[in-house]
Structure 1
Amino acid sequence: MTSTLLSALSRVLASVDALRNLRALYALLASFCFAGLLVAMAQSALAREQNLLSALWLGLGLAVAFFGVNATGLMLMDQARGRLVRDPQDALADALRSGHRVLLALLVALALAGAVVLALAGLLWATRWPFVGAPLLAVVLPAGVLALGGISFVLVVLVGPLAGPAVWAGRRQVIGFLRERLRHGLPETALLMSAVYLMTALATAAVSFVVVSGSRLMAGLAIVGAGVELPARQLLAGVMGLGPRGFGASGMPLEGGSLGLAALIGGGVVFAIALVLPTLVWLRGCCAVYLALTEPE
């Protein structure tokens, strides 16, 4: 048992090789950038009080991000299995055919969780009744805390991370797989997913250090060394995820004309890359956990 668990952990730790999967990196980066563009269009339409058009752009943006993540997951599953990684266009076509199964599994899990929440809400409402209210609350309160905490834990370490990999690996009965892991393998799954979350946190910290230190030094070099007439805050705004509209909403005017706009766009590219890299590690780790649980070496 110990050797099997150590083998699974080593398989999960090998997920850092996701950063070498350039096809997956390209697919995820393109989908995030396109989704961000659609969300910006939704914000612009909302500012013009075009609510229906704003909802349309927002829905398209969410769909692009969802199917982009699924296409990336399919390529990372190929990598985790040691197979030839499919082309991004083939992965997108496969994601369009199978992505609804991931969404369905998540919706079923959320519906079951919602049923428990409604039941607890009904019991809490019943505590207002005379005579039985106080004893009922004494029972419902601890039971509700444990139930809601347990549901949150299961969603974070089991349903959310493994529903996608189960579909990407070709499994048909996703809900059955999740139920089986919940009944007989939750501690092992939680341990492996803890390693994935730790790796993702470390990757996020490393990327954040590179982006923050590099942007500070670049801003100083541009302003002091090259004499670029832009305020440091504007040079760094794109790196922090602010676009032209977001920067304007912060109360600062956009200076420099085309030069200032180019700085925001360039910084936005850095922000997108910084967002994509930890996401790649997390998706690859989820694939590794699924394979370690279902296809032990």
Structure 2
Amino acid sequence: MSFPLLPALSRVLASIDAPRNLRALYALLAAFCVAGLLLATAQSAAARGQEGLSAVWLGLALAVAFFGVNTTGLMLMDQARGLPVREPPDALSDALRCSHRVLIALVACLALAGAGVAVLAALLWATRWPFFGAPLLAVVLPAGVVLLGGLCFVVVILVGPLAGPAVWAGRRSGGVLAFLRTRLRHGLPETALLMATVYLLVALTTAAVSFVVVSGGKLLAGLAILGAGIELPARQLLAGVTGLGPRSFGASGMPLEGGNLG
């Protein structure tokens, strides 16, 4: 089963309209903020030698990020399908009920990939045997390269990007696996082209956001030095804007100097 490529490509390009779904954007930002706070708490606990508590906070951070992404995905899927976008509490409730399907589908796909890798490892071990070991190695090496490369390609292009949206569209775990199998057998080139377009859009968006943040931050740091009377070396202030803390200055070769913040 295939699909018209140009209409699908136009729908992918239309995904740049997704940030207008402010409720989904706020839900994603809120989830990442909470996950960031939990991650910082985990790092603080690890610095105090509380490894068990750090693992708990880290697990909570991953759970918040996972369910936050699924909550946002459900809201964006409503928008993509032309349905009324559900409220964030309703989306969170639905995410708590269906997000496990994503994990089940991913685990099933990874299990299949692991089985293929195990067979390849067994064949490589069998090349130790005399008489037919060398001919077997001559066959296994190129086949193994194709197998492992193909698995990585399928995971990056098909399984990773489409397992979540398939669940958000209402499929159960078995339906997700059937959908992925269909795309693998009958639509992998088209899917690869569409995902390449998605990755290009993500890269361009990331570059644009990075340019805005970095250029704006450095200009603001310069204005702060000139206008706010912050008696701090410019390099040190700009390093702080780029994310370096006092503990990082020594590692980066930048001397730490005192200053007056007014």
Same fold (TM over 0.5): yes
Residues 1:114 and 2:114 aligned together = yes
Preserved CA contact (<8 Å) 2:12 2:194: yes
Select the structure of larger CA radius of gyration.
2
The one-letter amino acid of 2:199's match is Y
- Map 1:139-158 to 2 at 5 A: 139-158=139-158
Residues 1:24 and 2:24 aligned together = yes
Preserved CA contact (<8 Å) 1:12 1:192: yes
- Map 1:1-297 to 2 at 5 A: 4-172=4-172, 173-232=175-234, 235-236=237-238, 240=242, 248-249=247-248, 251=250
Identity %: 75
Aligned pair in 2 of structure 1 residues 88, 137: CA closer, same or farther (>3 Å)? same
Task: Determine the C-alpha separation between the residues in 2 that align with 1:255 and 1:52.
Answer: 37
The CA RMSD measured in Å over matched residues stands at 2.4
Task: Determine the C-alpha separation between the residues in 2 that align with 1:116 and 1:235.
Answer: 52
Structure 2 alignment gaps of length 5 or more: none
The one-letter amino acid of 1:76's match is L
Q: CA deviation at 1:157?
A: 1.1
Aligned pair in 2 of structure 1 residues 232, 74: CA closer, same or farther (>3 Å)? farther
Preserved CA contact (<8 Å) 1:248 1:254: no
Moved more, 187-196 or 226-235: 226-235
Moved more, 81-90 or 98-107: 81-90
Q: CA deviation at 1:254?
A: 9.6
**Post-superposition CA distance 1:120-144 (Å, at most 9, x none):** 2222222233333222221111111
Task: Determine the C-alpha separation between the residues in 2 that align with 1:229 and 1:145.
Answer: 58
Aligned pair in 2 of structure 1 residues 33, 234: CA closer, same or farther (>3 Å)? farther
Preserved CA contact (<8 Å) 1:211 1:239: no
**Post-superposition CA distance 1:229-260 (Å, at most 9, x none):** 34445545565456x6xx52554769679x7x
**Post-superposition CA distance 1:164-194 (Å, at most 9, x none):** 1111111121111111111111111111111
**Post-superposition CA distance 1:72-112 (Å, at most 9, x none):** 00111111112222111111111101100011111111111
Structure 1 alignment gaps of length 5 or more: 260-297
2:4 match: secondary structure: helix
Task: Determine the C-alpha separation between the residues in 1 that align with 2:241 and 2:137.
Answer: 50
- 1:281 aligns with none
Task: Determine the C-alpha separation between the residues in 2 that align with 1:36 and 1:18.
Answer: 23
Preserved CA contact (<8 Å) 1:223 1:230: yes
TM-score normalised by the chain length of structure 2: 0.89
Aligned pair in 2 of structure 1 residues 250, 113: CA closer, same or farther (>3 Å)? farther
Task: Determine the C-alpha separation between the residues in 1 that align with 2:3 and 2:109.
Answer: 32
Task: Determine the C-alpha separation between the residues in 2 that align with 1:124 and 1:250.
Answer: 48
The one-letter amino acid of 1:220's match is G
**Post-superposition CA distance 1:31-68 (Å, at most 9, x none):** 11111111111111111221111111111110110000
Aligned pair in 2 of structure 1 residues 131, 234: CA closer, same or farther (>3 Å)? farther
2:128 match: secondary structure: coil
The one-letter amino acid of 1:145's match is V
The one-letter amino acid of 2:169's match is A
1:86 match: secondary structure: coil
| Number of aligned residue pairs | 255
The one-letter amino acid of 1:120's match is L
Moved more, 123-132 or 233-242: 233-242
TM-score normalised by the chain length of structure 1: 0.79
